[in-house]
Amino acid sequence: MRSAQDIRWGTGGVGRSNKGLTSGEDVVGIVEKIGEGVKHVATGDRVLALTQTGGYAQFVMAESMLALPCPGDIPAPEAVALVLNYLTAYQMLVRVARVRSGESLLIHGAAGGVGQALVQIAAILDCISYGTDTRLRRLGCGCHPMGMVC
């Protein structure tokens, strides 16, 4: 099943012609080779990754910062559906912000896909999350530690 982004990309709807290029940017697969200095995944590991293009090809190349280990018990269709939200959230919290246990986080858009992933990953990292979202306000939900509570 192709995402709306894949359809826009494949039809040149993102500002350029993509004729002759393979679409698809969220992938799950087995690492065939790794580049120099890559430490968090190894050859033979099952990974989630984002590619700029080519995700529907038999082989793809991904930047190491855009690849994470993927547990074997998660079916590929479910894993690939989560890759963009959770990889984005992981990048933000772990690799960019470098949050530590006990820190408090304000997560804007906490009811969206990336926002929910941020709240869940923050809980795993033992952080206190506060969230905002216009949908929550309309439902009369409050902002509470460790997730959204209505």
Q: Is 147's pLDDT higher than 50?
A: no
Give the residue with greater pLDDT, 31 vs 63: 31
Number of structural domains found in the chain: 1
Task: Say if 126 falls within a structural domain.
Answer: no
3-state secondary structure of 47: strand
Interval 65-79 mean pLDDT: 87
Task: Say if 39 falls within a structural domain.
Answer: yes
pTM: 0.59
pLDDT of residue 83: 77
- Write the pLDDT tens digit of every residue in 74-99: 898 888 878 778 888 998 999 899 99
Task: Say if 91 falls within a structural domain.
Answer: no
Task: Say if 24 falls within a structural domain.
Answer: yes
Interval 121-143 mean pLDDT: 77
Task: Say if 137 falls within a structural domain.
Answer: no
Task: Say if 79 falls within a structural domain.
Answer: no
Q: Residue 33 belongs to what domain range?
A: 1-72
The answer to whether the beta carbons of residues 85 and 116 sit under 8 Å apart is yes
Q: Mean pLDDT score of the chain, rounded to an integer?
A: 79
Eight-state DSSP code of residue 2: -
Q: Is 56's pLDDT higher than 50?
A: yes
Give the residue with greater pLDDT, 146 vs 29: 29
Q: Is 138's pLDDT higher than 70?
A: no
Task: Say if 113 falls within a structural domain.
Answer: no
Q: Alpha-carbon distance 85 to 89, whole Å?
A: 6
Task: Say if 138 falls within a structural domain.
Answer: no
Give the residue with greater pLDDT, 21 vs 82: 82
Q: Which of 6-10, 55-59, 109-113, 130-134 has the highest mean pLDDT?
A: 109-113
Q: How far is CA 147 from CA 105, 110, 129, in A?
A: 11, 9, 6
